[in-house]
Amino acid sequence: AMYVPYDETLGVHPQSEGFTTHQPWDFAATTLEQYPLLLHFPYFDLYRKQVSKQADLVLAMHLRGHAFTTEQKARNFAYYERLTVRDSSLSACTQAVMAAEIGHLQLAHDYLGEAALMDLGDLEHNTRDGLHIASLAGSWIALVAGFGGLRERDNTLAFTPSLPPALSRIAFTITFRNRRLHVEVAPSTVVYQLRSGQPLQIFHEERSVTVSGEGPLSCSLTRRPDLDPPAQPAGRAPATRRASETAS
């Protein structure tokens, strides 16, 4: 029942009524020392400009993906990437999920690294005050919902996995309605294995399949090209992750 406005001219969803009519924030005149913005500029200025602290509308596309078309997701993601400054540690994991879904796999990997290393790298310069527990949980979301492609659909699970170039494998186990399902994703295949519980019908790349205790189910992956990512505000792009920097 939530209302999400739509800008017919730009073909994107404003994160609030009239948002796309605001003047864009002057990122070129903003120094790195002035982030986070909310500590250096009054809310009166921030709320009447096109700038986003975190990936709000992008989160809606993750949680309620059926409400947006594939084209709308791509346009929205590109639009908000250039406006989102990630002054919140809760943003990178959501951006990782949607970047992976759209096809920006390297960018998704970069955002995963930011979520996972928030405290090890003291990226927010405030780890002395305590761990960013939600960001640590967000790294699981980035892996499982992002590269594992996990979504809930029609009261069951749906998967559209894809890995970035630097990752050769991810594996995870989830419990869903008294079933334990193990998922192992490689660059060209994914293996589903039911470790306990009754047979489970799931969706693999829009195709209905059934996983039972009789043995693992191997499915091929449709390899998607790693698209060139959209730009972020000056100085706010995530650090690039490479194979040598990826923890096993």
* pLDDT tens digits, 17-37: 999 999 999 999 999 999 999
What is the DSSP code (8-state) at residue 165?
T
* pLDDT tens digits, 79-133: 999 999 999 999 999 999 999 999 999 999 999 999 999 889 888 888 899 998 9
Strands 179-185 and 189-196: antiparallel
Strands 200-204 and 207-211: antiparallel
Distances (CA, A) of 127 to 94, 152, 175, 235, 241: 21, 34, 32, 21, 21
Contact 52, 88 (CB under 8 A): no
Tokens coding 199 = 């047979």
- CB count in 10 Å sphere of residue 14: 19
Angle between helix axes 56-63 and 70-81 (nearest 10 degrees) is 160
* pLDDT tens digits, 203-226: 999 999 999 989 999 999 998 777
206 CB-side CA count, 13 A: 2
